Structure 1
């Protein structure tokens, strides 16, 4: 089969698209004929390399994708040939109340081979059914960011109707999902972006107030917009460049919920402000199977919709990585096997 391959950690020149051995289907695995997949910042970090990441090379990336079941292992009970499925990439012990807290928790595409290929053999527990009316572009690009944003806001931050939420980078993957979820939950939504086009998109998808962070200090803007109070919740996934201002943006008793640090993972922080204002700093990773089911039902019925920046053949994956790294446009970048185009 043809697959996207990272040959070593580095810049985009380490990405290749070419022949790779066909996957062998285990007893509890499903062979997925991939129709569409998508990139996340996770793919950028995986390609660049992380201190805790020790991968066998070449590595197939990809934590988002969808396709048709081509074959099932003999112990598979949930799917049969011809079913439409999408990947839910978090792997944890399903006997736990919250598998994301399993010490061995890992992510398909980051820690083990992913789905950016013509075919992928995936454990049936990491697949979710996709209704046949759902377009492959939506099916292949939604799961990671919508499950992440849903858990952040609904479970970890315990967002309530009438509260105020600041979404940073509202045109990015997690950001544009968080916008829609916060609006759905009945919150008043504040959002940041780096261009008027991105801010217009944010307003169309749930933002009540918008700020161009390239032209204005967003923490001061939040304080001005809220008569000095601040917001109840900040959705933070940027890290070092925004961390201190995110904390400044919170009201007394507010909650900052974070799922990553695309701009840097070791920010300076403001401890006196945290304890004096009795703030909560909350970490969040992926979602439980039940949370995935809850949010994806709202994607499948059209309540939530992923924005698509661009669709490219998998052979142009290096360009897809550049689009994410350079923050071009808004939403997800979708890649399809060249054989599907």
Structure 2
């Protein structure tokens, strides 16, 4: 089968198209013919050797796929050949076929196409748990959402509004800010403006925000800390800039601030959290209360280009690869 692999860490150019053996099917597992692959910042971190956990070489990235059941292994009897499914896997998604445990599969609703379905698991669950499980959002609070036109950000804006929050959304262009506004943001701020923090404080009448979702790192992180009000919760879920911030915990004390880390695979280890949140997300999508934004669909061979434009902040919503 065709797959996209890298044999060394580096920029998008290390991604190459290769022919590899189809993955072996084990007991309790299902083989899926892949129809849509979600592209995420985690994939770029894997490629750079900068992911939260070690990345072995050679490596086929891709943790999020939608597709059709091709074959079921012994003991896997909940799905049959031809069923449409979406799933999260550890790696190997940039390929024509993947194998995963049957228990990891999620049926795709009939009215949802594969490109939109693949936008739900990783980024939908991330947005949901950033706000609820980690941020402990309460109705009436103010939330600052960075990269609000991206895959996670665009869903987080809508979920925060659904739960009754006031939303301040940041992005890097007027086009992206307009999208955030369309999705429900109450205030929009261009974070490429050197004085963006002043705009956030002005939007809150100087009080600061209760919750901030931060995935850039570097100066954005430090300026975000300054935007927090007393008892605020800053939830960190990435370092897209490649510049991990240095922090002195004692600096959080005078405002009783919390800085909280989030890593989705830990949620996957708690089936109760995973199942409840996914059901709620699918319900919101089916009722039209949660709109999915697909920013572009590309051929699998264009993976290097997609990584390049993702890291250059030239995209909106979910980016999808198709074998």
TM-score, shorter chain, exceeding 0.5: yes
Report what 1:128 is aligned to. Answer: 106
Q: 1:281-292 to 2 correspondence within 5 Å?
A: 281-286=259-264, 287=267, 288-290=273-275, 291-292=277-278
Q: Name the CA distance, whole Å, in 1 between partners of 2:283 and 2:85.
A: 13
Deviations 1:118-169 (A, max 9, x none): 1111111222111122111101232111101101101111111111100011
Question: Paired residues, what number?
Answer: 314
Match of 2:288 among 302, 308, 319: 302
Report what 2:223 is aligned to. Answer: 245
Q: Name the CA distance, whole Å, in 2 between partners of 1:272 and 1:283.
A: 17
CA contact (8 A) 1:130 1:300 kept: no
Three-state SS of the structure 1 residue aligned to 2:283 is helix
Is 2:241 the counterpart of 1:263? Answer: yes
Measure how far apart 1:192 and its partner are.
0.7
Three-state SS of the structure 2 residue aligned to 1:256 is strand
What TM-score do you get using the length of structure 1 for normalisation?
Answer: 0.87
CA contact (8 A) 1:9 1:47 kept: yes
Greater displacement, 22-31 / 288-297:
288-297
Match of 2:93 among 115, 121, 127: 115
Report what 2:307 is aligned to. Answer: 321
Match of 1:277 among 255, 259, 272: 255
Greater displacement, 145-154 / 219-228:
219-228
CA contact (8 A) 1:36 1:137 kept: yes
Three-state SS of the structure 1 residue aligned to 2:229 is strand
Greater displacement, 282-291 / 163-172:
282-291
Measure how far apart 1:300 and its partner are.
4.4
CA contact (8 A) 1:146 1:296 kept: no
CA contact (8 A) 1:241 1:263 kept: no
- Structure 1: runs of 5 or more not aligned: 90-107
Match of 2:142 among 161, 164, 179: 164
Report what 2:20 is aligned to. Answer: 20
Report what 1:100 is aligned to. Answer: none
Q: Name the CA distance, whole Å, in 2 between partners of 1:217 and 1:296.
A: 38
CA RMSD of aligned residues (A): 1.7
Alpha carbons of structure 1 residues 23 and 190: separation in structure 2 relative to 1, 3 Å: same
Alpha carbons of structure 1 residues 244 and 270: separation in structure 2 relative to 1, 3 Å: farther
Q: Name the CA distance, whole Å, in 2 between partners of 1:316 and 1:249.
A: 39
CA contact (8 A) 2:119 2:151 kept: no
Report what 2:3 is aligned to. Answer: 3
Measure how far apart 1:270 and its partner are.
5.5
Report what 2:54 is aligned to. Answer: 53
- Structure 2: runs of 5 or more not aligned: 268-272
Q: Name the CA distance, whole Å, in 1 between partners of 2:76 and 2:211.
A: 41
What TM-score do you get using the length of structure 2 for normalisation?
Answer: 0.92
Three-state SS of the structure 2 residue aligned to 1:262 is coil
Report what 2:130 is aligned to. Answer: 152
Measure how far apart 1:292 and its partner are.
2.9
Alpha carbons of structure 1 residues 302 and 60: separation in structure 2 relative to 1, 3 Å: farther
Measure how far apart 1:307 and its partner are.
1.6
CA contact (8 A) 1:157 1:233 kept: yes
Greater displacement, 2-11 / 224-233:
2-11
Q: Name the CA distance, whole Å, in 2 between partners of 1:300 and 1:324.
A: 28
Deviations 1:227-277 (A, max 9, x none): 110111111111123111111111111111111111235313354541000
Greater displacement, 47-56 / 117-126:
47-56
CA contact (8 A) 1:244 1:270 kept: no
Is 2:62 the counterpart of 1:62? Answer: yes
